[in-house]
Amino acid sequence: MQSKKNLINEFIDNKKILITGGAGFIGGALIRKLLTEFNSELLNIDKLGYSSDLTSIQLITNKSKKNNYKHINLDLNNFEKLKDIIFNFQPDLIMHLAAESHVDRSIDNSRVFIESNIIGTFNLLEASRIYFRELKDQKKENFKLHHISTDEVFGSLDHNGKFSEESSYDPRSPYSASKASSDHLVRAWHHTYQLPIIITNCSNNFGPWQYPEKLIPLVIHKAVSKERIPIYGDGENIRDWLYVDDHVDALLRVISIGEIGKSYCIGGNNEISNKVLVKKICFILNEIKPSTYDYLDLIEYVKDRPGHDKRYAIDASYIKKELGWEPKYNFDESLKTTIKWYLENDAWRRKVLNRSGYKAERLGNLSD
């Protein structure tokens, strides 16, 4: 009997894979993995928004002799162009990661989240439905659309319990509501049109190449820039952290051997409060990049985010039982690796911030 790893390699190799949002943090990590470890033809559809960056992919493709990667700059709201691209590329698999994902930005401007996460997903589903309807034989039998989502669609937990595949949807922010809507659309297109889909809901990702508006790279940026490091509220909000390479491994396992119509929850088994996490980052920075000031002294508690979910936690026992996946990266070691990467790639951090115009200011802070 073949091992699950061999089954994954066999399934992914020589496939034509269309990836939306491949210039984003998780999409970029997925493409790097596919380019370096598989023989697949990849098409990356990404509109190149403020947080998009292709540097990490270009470092691989510039050295490669293969001609198996292409990027198309396209907003998924352009339905006709999207449909044409899908029909021209003839994908075997579609992995949908394109999304606006920052909760604070969704508080300031929810419209772009509705347009990207809901309308964009609808357009992809409709184009895929029309394409799938015309497929024949083995191509049709093997086709899958994998929708990558978030645990935030399930709302907020108290001190007990964890999210699972059976959890009810209870989104609390414009971002999570837009992602919940996209999940529901994906399921509806499966049940109504028999589109072969799989959904995954993951916990908070971290690692190299993440745009510095998310908590971990933002704290690093603030600390090395000698700026105040904000902690929302009392800092007791808890998140389950997942190293991005673990997430990518899970995604490839799901698309390869996951069951059509199912959803899988992907978590890192690393619950930690925002307050403790920020202090961990400061402790590590004090150790590996000592300065004339103590990074811990930069921490300040600020007004809480509106509708701030108290706790997220994933029960990943189902994906372990069914597909044999579990996280393999140690959190503390991965956090230190991530911090070192940002210190070593300071020019990249400054470049993406300057290009986007974001000055690491507070977002989503509603006035009283």
Which candidate in 75, 92, 100, 175 is catalytic? Answer: 175
Judge whether 175 counts as a catalytic residue: yes
Tell me the two tokens of residue 107.
């508080």
The CA-atom distances, in angstroms, between 364 and each of 56, 105, 112, 151, 361 are 29, 6, 14, 20, 10
The maximal CA–CA distance of the chain, rounded, in angstroms, is 67
Three-state SS annotation for 7-59:
HHHHHHCCCEEEEECCCCHHHHHHHHHHHHHCCCEEEEECCCCCCCCCHHHHH
Say if residues 198 and 258 touch (Cβ distance below 8 Å).
yes
Residue among 46, 100, 151, 213 flagged as catalytic: 151
Which of 349, 13, 327 has the alpha carbon at shortest distance from 210? 349
Listed residue (180, 189, 168) closest to 261, CA to CA: 189
Q: How far, in Å, CA of 199 to CA of 255, rounded? A: 9
Which has the closest alpha carbon to 244: 277, 207, 204?
207
Residue of 164, 338, 176 whose CA lies nearest to 246: 338
287: number of Cβ within 10 Å: 10
The question of whether 246 is a catalytic residue gets the answer no
Which one from 75, 100, 152, 249 is the annotated catalytic residue?
152
The residues annotated as belonging to the active site are 151-152, 175
